[in-house]
Chains A and B, each alone.
Chain A
Amino acid sequence: MTSADAHVVIVGAGHAGGTLAALLRQYGYAGAVTLVGEEPIPPYQRPPLSKAWLKGEADAESLALKPLEFYAGNRIYFRPSVRGVGIDRARKVLALSDGSDLAYDVLVLATGARPIRLPIPGADLDGVLELRTAADAEALKAALGPGRTMAVVGGGYIGLEAAASARALGADAVVLEREPRILARVAGEVLSNFFRQAHETHGVRFLTGASVTGFRGEGGKVTGVELADGQVIDCDLALVGVGAVPNQELAQEAGLAVNRGVVVDLEARTSDPAIFAIGDVTLRPMPIYGRDFRMESVPNALEQAKQVACAITGRPAPAGETPWQWSDQYDIKLQIAGYNFDADQSLVRGDPASGHFAIFHLKGDQVQAVEAINSPPEFMMGRQLIGSRRPVDKQRLADTSFSMKEVAAA
């Protein structure tokens, strides 16, 4: 347990960092807490940026994890618009971008990830956008509107959610995906096909096997996307959503162990006993799968924030959670539990045409992952089966005349 005089410095005021600061006070930590963030606003939720925010159904107040007054009111020294630029581990000092220093007893790296930028001609044109921050979302929202065409580079969740929101705003969307199918990196074929069809029903166009080689512009503003096969896709704006890389430079330059993410254990500790790391920046163990992975999800950020808050306040470590995530597109709620690392079979439960079904990925008769569309029972029960590693009766699982509770009880 950390002494009550210890100064906890959290670098990164995103979902993980913001949650940790609040949890420390909730758990009764009385020592000094400083929360450093490069953005000018207090911690907020990113998931709504591609959904409710774009559609005009959320505002800055509803996005904020806590109101600004919460921080000063709870003796959390929140320092916006400043970045950590160097760690002196021997002296336990964090250097900041405004030239000042912060002495710490415990340092928590919560620097997150940044969108991958395509190193291709025209990437700097006005109107070539990415979506990570509230400022990005403002620019995207301002550019969308009836009659405008958005080219989406990358058929992953960011792009698909933005496409759905664009359609809600009366804008057109064309998705350009390099792989033979959308969601190739994160989902199986049945799910890819389901979402493609759903989007096409809403008027979204798709080009798969499409390699983007450049952006065209006029007067400094993007007017089209160039493909390897010579096609040019006309657009008023382009959203690039091709993945993210961890902001691990601060850790790396300080000599901490990194491996496409800051390496941490199950208590979110780095290779330095006084330094933790949490959220999108970390590479962490996954006991269920016997491997290390960098999870980009809100639930992971929350779990690791809890791990650190418990470690600092001397509470028992939280029970390990089965990873999960969600995506909302149109009236489709996708809930995913687990990861499909080495499944040997996929099993569909329910009829995709009905709009509610689930795809289970199994290794032998253990559920490894489940993708549930508008099917909370499959998601909730599937998540329990993944975490418990209990074998499942596959015939019952495939048969919707058995409820998920009956399947799990077998």
Chain B
Amino acid sequence: MAKITYIEHDGTEHVHDGKTGLSVMEVAVKNNVPGIDADCGGACACATCHVYVDPAWLDKTGDKSAMEESMLDFAEGVEPNSRLACQIKITDGLDGIVVRLPESQH
């Protein structure tokens, strides 16, 4: 289980608990957090679940697959701490993680 803080572009914070094994995207979507679209439902096919992981947490989210790297390469406003939220699996070690959301996913 992990507590996840999602911060919208305008600063609005949403805090939700996520079960281990779900992705950071799934927890956002199930709780209707605005700012993560996740059009493909987690298939790493659309890059509309783009998030900026707080630098203090980035290393704990693990490595990106080649597919995620490629998809991110074409998302808008990509930074070194960008990840696709559907590829970040929740573990106990992510308890307290903070992610920031872009202004728009499209």
User: Which residues of A are found within 8 Å of B37, using beta-carbon distances?
Assistant: 302
Chain B CB within 8 A of A335 CB = yes
Asked, given contacts A377-B74, A380-B71, A380-B74, whether A25 binds B32 with beta carbons under 8 Å apart, the answer is yes
Q: Please state if B106 and A333 are interface contacts (CB–CB under 8 Å).
A: no
Q: How many residues of B contact A (CB 8 A)?
A: 21
- Whether the pair A298, B73 counts as a contact (CB closer than 8 A) is no
Contact B67 A45 (CB under 8 A): no
A residues in contact with B47, CB < 8 Å:
380
Given contacts A319-B106, A326-B40, contact A335 B45 (CB under 8 A): yes
Residues of B within 8 A of A70 (CB): 30, 32
A311 at the interface (CB under 8 A from B): no
Cα A25 to Cα B29 in complex, Å, equals 13
Contact call B71/A47, Cβ cutoff below 8 A: no
Instruction: Please state if A333 and B74 are interface contacts (CB–CB under 8 Å).
Output: no
Q: Is the CB of A376 within 8 A of B32?
A: no
In the complex, are the beta carbons of A299 and B39 less than 8 A apart? yes
Chain B residues in 8 Å Cβ range of A380: 47, 70-71, 73-74
Judged by a CB distance under 8 angstroms, whether A381 is at the interface is yes
- Asked if B106 and A377 sit within 8 Å, CB to CB, the answer is no
Distance of A66 Cα from B99 Cα, bound (Å)? 21
Contact A47/B41 with A377-B74, A381-B74 known, Cβ cut-off 8 Å: yes
Residues on A with beta carbons closer than 8 Å to the beta carbon of B56: none
Q: Is A74 an interface residue when CB atoms closer than 8 A count as contact?
A: yes
Q: Could you jot down 30 A-B contacts, CB within 8 Å?
A: A25-B32, A26-B34, A45-B41, A47-B43, A48-B41, A65-B29, A66-B32, A67-B30, A70-B30, A70-B32, A74-B32, A299-B46, A302-B37, A302-B39, A321-B106, A326-B40, A326-B43, A328-B43, A333-B44, A333-B45, A335-B45, A375-B70, A376-B71, A376-B73, A376-B74, A377-B70, A377-B73, A380-B47, A380-B70, A380-B73
